Amino acid sequence: MAKVQTIILRAPGTNCDAETAYAFQQAGADTTLVHVNQLIRRRQKLADYQIMVLPGGFTYGDDLGAGKVQANELRLKLGEEIARFLEGGGLILGICNGFQAMLKAGILPEPAQGVSTRVTLANNDSGKFECRWIHLAANPKSNCVFTKGIERMYLPVAHGEGKVVATDGILDKLNIALYYTDEKGNRNAGYPDNPNGSMRSIAGLADASGRVFALMPHPERYVRGTQHPQWTRLGIKSSGDGFKIFQNAVSWAQHL
């Protein structure tokens, strides 16, 4: 069986792309780091891949807002190609800055229903950049491909604009795949367990198909047991909590 092909998009200010590539490689996929201009100029084709990833960072310095410039590129210059990619069954994963770009580009949550413009990511309630490890719980009612079989996770966050906000009536329509919780799994916990003040403690969203997923925490930063901040005290896990997300994606894509 041929290996799953994963494209990881880069732009000025992207980081965590190498870590994301490593995570997918460990999960059994081949990865290619591609600058977004290579897609725009058709030097690379999305059709050659099964998984597309928008990693974390500060693309274009977030000068017009987090992920805004990259979102415009995706929507205006690659919108049709991304639509065909999804029609062919491809998966899309956005991490942190990738989540910000996907929302603002209309890739999430349901652009066909005109919902995307009524959901966004705003400045953290704390008014500062939040860099900490947090507890998470997957939504068992979500059909999200990436969170299948996951109950709880412990992952780091690092962002200044991570608060999910939505207009009235939209929250009930969202496919919430991941929640912020306290260490006991309580979703109603306040700051700092919910590090940005997201409505309904939303940490990650999927589209209706479950094949498009984005989250603010960084799963690529905890794929090995030794990446846990207390691994010497608590012992080493066979793999980090974030690794299952990448394994799920590769397993699904193998059947495309």
What pLDDT score does 90 carry?
A: 97
H helices within the chain, ranges in order?
A: 17-26, 36-40, 68-77, 79-87, 97-105, 231-234, 243-253
Say if residue 1's pLDDT is above 70. Answer: no
Residues 108, 220: Cα–Cα separation, whole Å: 21
13-26 residue pLDDT tens: 999 999 999 999 99
Q: Give the pair of three-digit tokens for residue 146.
A: 């990436």
Sign of dihedral through CA atoms 78, 23, 31, 38? positive
Query: Would you name the residues annotated as active-site residues?
Result: 96, 218, 220
Say if residue 235's pLDDT is above 60. Answer: yes
Could you give the domains of the chain?
A: 5-253 (3.40.50.880)
Cα–Cα distances in Å, from 249 out to 117, 144, 211, 254, 255?
A: 27, 10, 9, 9, 11
109-143 residue pLDDT tens: 875 444 455 789 999 999 999 999 999 999 999 99
pTM of the complete model: 0.95
Mean pLDDT for 55-76 is 87
User: For helices 68-77 and 97-105, what crossing angle results, to 10°?
Assistant: 50
- Nearest-5° angle of CA 152, CA 186, CA 252? 25
Q: Give the pair of three-digit tokens for residue 182.
A: 């306290």
168-224 residue pLDDT tens: 788 989 999 999 999 999 999 899 999 999 999 999 999 999 999 999 999 999 999
What pLDDT score does 63 carry?
A: 76
Check: CB of residue 51 under 8 Å from CB of residue 4. yes
What pLDDT score does 114 carry?
A: 44
**CB-neighbour burial class of residue 46 (10 A; exposed 0-12, middle 13-18, buried 19+):** buried
Mean pLDDT for 88-109 is 95
Residues 107, 237: Cα–Cα separation, whole Å: 35
Q: Are strands 163-166 and 51-54 parallel, antiparallel or unpaired?
A: unpaired
